[in-house]
Amino acid sequence: MDRPELKDAIARLRAAAPLVHNITNFVAMNATANALLAIGASPAMIDAIEEVADFTPQAAALVVNIGTLSRDRLASMECAAAKASEIGVPWILDPVAAGSTPYRTAAAMTLAQLRPAVIRGNASEILTLGGDARAVPKGVESVHRPEAARAAAGRLAVALGTVIAVTGATDYVTDGRRLAAVANGHPLLTRVTATGCMATALIGAFLGAGLAPFDAAVAGLVTLGVAAEIAAAGAAGPGSFQVALMDALYRLDDAIMTARARVQ
């Protein structure tokens, strides 16, 4: 991490303590809020159509995650995302399980057009957003390796004017021009639910702290990856790993990040 912007990413996040507005799924809500609190952000989960347009402008960033989609929730997501783009609140899209049903694919496509600063997904989801109709995931899990979606991610980033993060064993971040590979992480992340959602929310927190989208995406993925490595060292399985992950996020600082980041 030789980019100056990332050297003090954690310190900037903690100083800003950004209010992050999340419209996320029911599986991830609690874990996402706890990850955001652990890293130093201030999460709020507010999703009623009656109030999202009033709330988003108060936030430093918006996180939209389609995990447990419904007609009402999609309407709130579209409303909040449009508002965020209109007034300059950076927002991130997590197109969970895009490709698994026509409804879900269409919802992800619609939201992707509303100018998110970042889109984070697994390879199958990003391939789906790129128009590959054969990229059907296995539920919420990718059936493709992230390398398979790297080229599609670059094209999609240019087409949408956004940053795309494709996550997997190695994560790739691209704006169509630059490409970063993040090799931090641990296989236990795949045995705890909502860790992809946490990655998305952490990127949202760095957006809220004022980092540029490309830097925020790299910082968020390195943060989760390094915390996971620390947590896995003492874990007996996914239960103790998840507990240690929250502790590690809380204790992380820029010195640890700089020493352990594996970014190319």
Q: Does 224 bind its own copies (CB under 8 A)?
A: no
- Contact status: 69 vs its own copies (CB under 8 A): yes
Nearer to its own copies, 15 or 103 (CB): 103
| From 11, 45, 109, 158, residue interacting with its own copies (rule: CB under 8 A) | 45
* CB-neighbour burial class of residue 256 (10 A; exposed 0-12, middle 13-18, buried 19+): middle
163-167 and 171-174 strand pairing: antiparallel
Cα 249 from chain centroid? 15
Task: State how far the Cα of 258 lies from the Cα of 84, in Å rounded to an integer.
Answer: 32
Options 46, 75, 79, 181; binder of its own copies; rule CB under 8 A:
46
Radius of gyration over alpha carbons of the chain, in Å? Answer: 16
Q: Which span (55-63, 152-160, 202-210, 217-225) binds its own copies, by CB under 8 A?
A: 55-63
Token digits for 59? 């936030």
Q: Considering the rule CB under 8 A, would residue 25 count as an interface residue with its own copies?
A: yes
Orientation angle between helical segments 102-112 and 71-87, nearest 10 degrees: 10
- Residue 178 in the binding site for its own copies (CB under 8 A): no
Give the count of residues interacting with its own copies (CB under 8 A): 64
CB of 33 to its own copies, least distance (A): 4
What is the per-residue binding string for its own copies in 236-255, x denoting contact by CB under 8 A? xxxxx-xxxxxxxxxx----
Q: Does 152 bind its own copies (CB under 8 A)?
A: no
Does residue 79 belong to the site contacting its own copies (CB under 8 A)? no
Q: 94: closest CA among 9, 165, 3?
A: 165
Q: Quote the crossing angle between the two packed helices 195-208 and 9-16, to the nearest 10°.
A: 80
For residue 123, the SS3 value is: helix
- The type of residue at 178 is R
- Rule CB under 8 A: say whether 81 interacts with its own copies: no
Q: Which residues bind its own copies (CB under 8 A)?
A: 19, 21, 25-31, 33-34, 37-38, 42-48, 50-51, 54-55, 58-59, 67-72, 97, 100-104, 136, 138-141, 190-194, 235-240, 242-251
